[in-house]
Amino acid sequence: MNGARAESTPLRKVVLVGSGAVGKTTLASRLITGTYIQQTMTVGLNVETWTVEDSAEQAAIKIISFDLGGQNQFRFFQQEMIRGANFAMIVFDLTRYESFMDLEEWMGFIGDIPEKCRVLVANKADMESVVSDEEIRTFAEKHSLPVVRTSCVTGQGIEELERVIWESLKGNGICG
Ligand SMILES: Nc1nc2c(ncn2[C@@H]2O[C@H](COP(=O)(O)OP(=O)(O)O)[C@@H](O)[C@H]2O)c(=O)[nH]1
Ligand SMILES: [Mg+2]
């Protein structure tokens, strides 16, 4: 990317929320590097940037992602970090029912981010799911969330997720 282009690339703030070990850091790294990299536990916060481009539209969005650690003691600090976020990925782990149960709490946590600027990410789709499709659909409909099933290991759903993020953040849409 040349310098002029980099300067004109709008910066968007994306947050990844969800319980510990659902795969937020791995997902961010998969989106950034395109490959699966085993991650160590996030304590507090991971901040990374990546650029989502659309060659057809000759446009790009630079995204700064805040991957919040799952530990309760950091909640106050995390609330500060997500202020002004343009978009939220709400992540749960298909293999851990508890992470699905925690979603309501995470929805409350990101209350300021407009409904249309959120996506529900059902991660670890390469493994056997313990959350039924029906339950996921009911939750997603209740909160008007699009759902993307992803696997950081196989790459399933990663392009679709990028597309959802792109569609929400490009131009002068409501996600800014
Ligand atoms: N099988 C499988 N494991 C995953 C996937 N995504 C993440 N993991 C693993 O889940 C664990 C927790 O991931 P991490 O990104 O640290 O979770 P975080 O606490 O939400 O940031 C790590 O061992 C990852 O390698 C996935 O899609 N499939
Ligand atoms: Mg993490």
Domain coordinates in residue numbering, the chain: 11-169
Q: What is the pairing mode between strands 11-17 and 59-68?
A: parallel
Among 64-73, 142-151, 166-175, which is the least confidently predicted range?
64-73
| Mean pLDDT, rounded, of the chain | 84
Best residue among 29, 152, 160 to mutate for probing ligand 1's pocket (most ligand atoms within 8 Å of CB) is: 152
Task: With beta carbons less than 8 A apart as the criterion, state whether 101 and 115 touch.
Answer: no
Give the mean pLDDT of 35-62.
71
Amino acid 80: pLDDT: 80
The pLDDT assigned to 155 comes to: 95
Q: What percent of the chain has pLDDT over 90?
A: 41
For residue 2, the model assigns a pLDDT of: 47
Confidence check: pLDDT of 39 > 80: no
**Degrees to nearest 5, angle at CA 110 with 109 and 111:** 95
Residue with tokens 């298909």: 94
Substitution candidate for ligand 1 out of 22, 24, 26, 160 with most atoms within 8 A of CB: 26
65, pLDDT greater than 70:
yes
Residue 53's pLDDT band (cuts 50, 70, 90): confident
pLDDT of 91 reads 96
Eight-state DSSP code of residue 112: T
Is CATH 3.90.1210.10 correct for 11-169? no
Question: What's the CA-to-centroid distance between 56 and ligand 2, angstroms?
Answer: 33
pLDDT for the residue numbered 109: 87
- Across residues 26-46, what is the average pLDDT? 73
pLDDT of residue 69: 66
Q: For residue 105, report the distance from its CA to the centre of ligand 2, in Å.
A: 18
Are 95 and 129 contacting, i.e. CB atoms less than 8 angstroms apart?
Answer: yes
How does pLDDT run across 74-127, given as a tens digit for each residue? 677 777 888 889 999 999 999 999 999 999 989 988 988 998 999 999 999 999
Q: Which residues contact 146 (CB under 8 A, 6 or more apart)?
A: 119, 120, 140, 164
